Structures are given as structure tokens and as C-alpha cells.
Structure 1
């Protein structure tokens, strides 16, 4: 993965939030509107020896936040981004390092995100994220709506 100023800023932002830093996320890939994060199982383990459900939700949530942040940064925009609502489904336990992919739910909505923010000072977009298993399965899914509010 090529490191850009936007990716470096996102990694620094994650490192500056103690609950997020404790999960030890790393940016694995940013390509074609999809962001992949990883986190070690050892930092996110529960009493059953699998990944803590809160870590799965948190990692998927910050991946969604990250994709909105990167998309707006690439458009030259600075905004405060908030998760407005989300729905999570836990499908299988995770007994390995966590891998999360996040992408836009609707490509047309994603394409208009920067324009809506420029015109209205506020924009909303839906993201889908999933926790992937090494065998190709999906352990958890998240569908969330994020709101961006232009700074300044």
C-alpha cells in the first residue's frame, strides 16, 4: 500500500484516540473506494479466546469513518465526520487477527458526497463494512450512515 498524506493523517488520527489505539489497528489497503484495516487478535480477545464483539463493531465503525475521511481529503475538503446510526450482525466468532473491509453502500451517493458537502455544508452517506475470515467467510457486518459537516 502506498502511503499518502491522507493515509498518514488517518493513521495518526487513529493513534490519537486511546480506545482505538488500544485495538492496534493498521491500515492495510486503500483502493477503489475500499478501505481495509487489520488488528491483532491478541489486543482484541475476549474470555472465550475469540475476538471481542465490541472490537469487531469498533473496527468496522472506524473503517467506515476512515473511508469517508479519505474520500473527502482526496477532494480537498475538511469536515467533522460522525457515525449517525448503524446496524451490526455477528455471524461467526473470529479466532484470528481481525480484517475489516469498508466501502460505500451506493456508488452514486459516494460520487456526490464531496459536491453535496461543498453545496450544503453537510452531507450523509451509507457505508457497508464486514469482518472477513481467512477462509473467505464473513464474521460480522455493519451498515452505517455517516454525516460530514464542513469545517469553517
Structure 2
């Protein structure tokens, strides 16, 4: 299991910068300390931790101007490459940029990274100045828009939305939509008007359904990422309601709160996955769902 984290303590920053130097500067014989620049204090930093709490990926984003953010220093440990962690750290950085009002992303990519950033939606703009006199760079840009939300594995997300509507018709009647998937967080939304009761708030049963589908969807996408198959069924689900929903129903499921052993499926064994889904009304938390889903191995 991997976790996106923000370094905060001196110890965490030491591990973060040590990893950045090891991956991006040491191969070029640059001294420790050369991995830092004048933007560190104003930038947002993210790192990926493995199950043992070790840094296996890093990245940084900072604002160049009011509507432009620059992504730099994205690196994944060699033994963890090819697992989708690059997209994971990138998605976290793009979310930060969006939250700070960025309408455009820019990165100065090395040749070996052009394909990666192209797959994230960037386009080549022009050649950029060489870094430290040696590393040739290409400037790439990505324009952000409201319809260009962070969506890792968009085809899988489209398939999931289609699966919901075709196999659970009531999900379409409720207006449930997959709004955003960053690799670490799945967000779904529903139409309040289609789920409103006589008090002008969302039906409790609709909230439960939204939470259940969101948890189911998160597991579905994680199975895809791990190249595994299985039938997902709800074993147990409990929800605690704090406040009614009167505006915008939202459901968030974060990978940090997924607990279970997916690898059991490789041995043709069923596995239980525990998770949490937070329900919000706009930006306000209003309910919390905790569930246990069983994944049953596919039989011929």
C-alpha cells in the first residue's frame, strides 16, 4: 500500500531531500544540497511512502504567477517504477495547483520524461534552458479547465460509470457521477434534486447508496491498477449522519483508509477490504460511512 504524504517535520524533509538528491542529482555527480533551489519555501511538496514508511517518490509544485504553476523534481525509485506511482504523485501536485487557482501548468522536462508528461496531458511548447549546464530540457504546458479535472485512468473511470448505470439503473436516476479520481482519492457526486425529501434535504437512503457505490468503485479501480479480477460485494456497512445535505452531495474515498490484502486473490482466495467514505455537503462534512467489502475470486 502506498500513501501520499506532505513532509512537515525536519526529519521528513531530510528524507524527502535525500531521496530527491539520490534520484535527480547524484547520477550527475552533483553534491548534496544541489537538489534545492530558491523556491523551496514557497513550494508545495509531496512524497509517496511505501508500507514501511520509506520514501519511494517525490514531487514539487510552486506558483510562477497568479494563474501558472510549475511542476518540478518528480522522481520515483527505480524498483517502484511501472506501478503507476508517477501518475499518483503528479495527480497530487495538479490538485494542489488547482486549489491555488492555477489555470496553466508548466514543466521543463528531460527527454526521458516527455512521454510521461504527454500522457498526463502536457504538450511541448519550446526548448527550455539547460539545467546546471548539462541537462537539456523541453518546456511543456497543460491548460487546466473545469472539465479537465484530475482523472487518472480516464478509460477505466468511464467504464466504471457505464457499469453503474447499466447494472444499477437507480444510480443514473439518482444522478450519481464519478467526478474525480486522482489515484489516491475517488470523488463522486449526486443530484440533490433527484434525491430530495419533503424536508428539502437528501434522503438518508440515497446518501447510503452514494457512499456504498463510492467504496465499491474505489475497490474496482484498485483491482484494475493491480491487474486483478474479482466480484465485489458489500459485506457490512454502517453510516453515521451528522447533518442533513441541503446543497451539493459529495462522497470521498481515500486510499489511505483502505485496509485489506488484495494479493490473496492471486492465490484464488477471497479477501475482505475495509474502507471509509466521507460524505460532504459542498465543503462541509455531514456523514461517515464505514464498510467491509468482500472480493470473491473469479471462477471459470
Match of 2:201 among 50, 53, 76: 50
Q: TM-score, normalised by structure 2?
A: 0.47
| SS at 1:125 equivalent | strand
Cα deviations by residue, 1:8-32 (Å, 9 ceiling, x for unpaired): 1110011111121211111111124
Cα deviations by residue, 1:73-122 (Å, 9 ceiling, x for unpaired): 11112211001001110110111121110134645x35x42x12112431
Matched, 1:33 2:181: no
What is the rounded CA distance, in whole Å, between the counterparts of 1:33 and 1:146 in structure 2?
18
Tell me which residue corresponds to 2:295: 148
What is the rounded CA distance, in whole Å, between the counterparts of 2:182 and 2:298 in structure 1?
26
What is the rounded CA distance, in whole Å, between the counterparts of 1:6 and 1:55 in structure 2?
24
Matched, 1:22 2:170: no
What is the rounded CA distance, in whole Å, between the counterparts of 2:267 and 2:232 in structure 1?
17
What is the rounded CA distance, in whole Å, between the counterparts of 1:151 and 1:59 in structure 2?
26
Higher alpha-carbon deviation: 59-68 or 119-128: 119-128
What is the rounded CA distance, in whole Å, between the counterparts of 1:24 and 1:97 in structure 2?
12
Are 2:192 and 2:248, in contact at CA under 8 Å, matched by a contact in 1? Answer: yes
Q: TM-score, normalised by structure 1?
A: 0.89
Higher alpha-carbon deviation: 73-82 or 115-124: 115-124
Matched, 1:124 2:272: yes
Structure 2 residue runs of 5 or longer lacking an equivalent are 1-149
What is the rounded CA distance, in whole Å, between the counterparts of 2:245 and 2:215 in structure 1?
20
Tell me which residue corresponds to 2:17: none
What is the rounded CA distance, in whole Å, between the counterparts of 2:272 and 2:184 in structure 1?
16
Tell me which residue corresponds to 2:116: none
Are 2:257 and 2:276, in contact at CA under 8 Å, matched by a contact in 1? Answer: no
What is the rounded CA distance, in whole Å, between the counterparts of 2:296 and 2:213 in structure 1?
17
Q: Which has the greater radius of gyration?
A: 2
Residues 145 and 105 of structure 1, relative CA distance in 2, 3 Å threshold: farther
Are 2:186 and 2:253, in contact at CA under 8 Å, matched by a contact in 1? Answer: yes
Q: Which has the higher contact order (CA 8 A, sep 6+)?
A: 1
Matched residues, number: 148
Are 1:104 and 1:126, in contact at CA under 8 Å, matched by a contact in 2? Answer: no
